[in-house]
Structure 1
Amino acid sequence: MNRILSQMPELELDEAMTIDALLKDKTDEQIRNFAIIYRSRRRDPMIILVTTLLGFAGFSGIQRFLTNQMGMGILYFFTAGLCLIGTIIDLVNYKSLALEYNRKVAQEAAMFI
């Protein structure tokens, strides 16, 4: 896991463990290439939090669009975040939204190296 964290110190523990499992048999060069690809596609949990908070200002669903959940994003947009209930739930679960998206991105990026 030290090789992963040395290349990507911004990762949280759950995310780093997932990536470590994906890259356990890879060389340092492959890990560097993965880091370049992954960083460009990764979503920071704080961005998900900020965009979720925008739902209270009338811009509901942005966090769902950022995590490639287009259907839910459209639903949130036209229903004011499901009458703010969905927005509140996303506010509580913003880290899991980001982690789920980042795991998918990591699996896709691991196929390219």
Structure 2
Amino acid sequence: MFDQNFMSLPGITPQEYSYLQSATQGLNEQQLRTFLMIYSGKRKNPSDMLLFCIIGLFLVPGLQRFIIGQIGMGILYLLTGGLCLIGSIIDIVNHKTLAFEHNQRMVFESMQMVRMSNF
């Protein structure tokens, strides 16, 4: 049953799927529902991240960094034109990694919220 919940997340990768399985091990059904509700609102889909990276390359340098909460890097990209476009191109190539790293942080935050709600 838990597998169906994870697979309903749009654009989930096998790496993220296995990370979610290990992170949510030991949660009961209610805790898992709460976790998924919180996490699904915070996670970034890798295909959406690719779109943000392309927009960051052509329109607003650093948009992808602002979206994932890296405000300092976003300002740096904005002021330097995406680090002279090289940083933006690298982000396009690594868009899945950017999304996965952000999603890992969101798993941690969501788990903390679930654990705090039990008290």
Spell out the pairing of 1:1-113 with structure 2 (5 A cutoff): 3=2, 5-9=3-7, 10=9, 11-113=12-114
* CA deviation string 1:51-99 (max 9, x = no partner): 1101232311010011111110001111110110000100100000000
Q: Give 1:43's aligned amino acid.
A: K
Aligned-residue Cα RMSD (Å) equals 1.2
Question: What are the ranges of 5 or more consecutive residues in structure 1 without an aligned counterpart?
Answer: none
> Partner of 1:8: helix, strand, or coil?
helix
Q: Which amino acid aligns with 1:14?
A: Q
Runs of 4 or more off by more than 2 Å in structure 1?
none
Aligned length in residues: 111
TM-score by length of structure 1 reads 0.92
Shift of 1:8: 2.7
CA distance in 1, matches of 2:57, 2:72: 20
Where do 5+ consecutive residues of structure 2 fail to align? 115-119
What is the distance in 2 between the residues matched to 1:59 and 1:67? 15
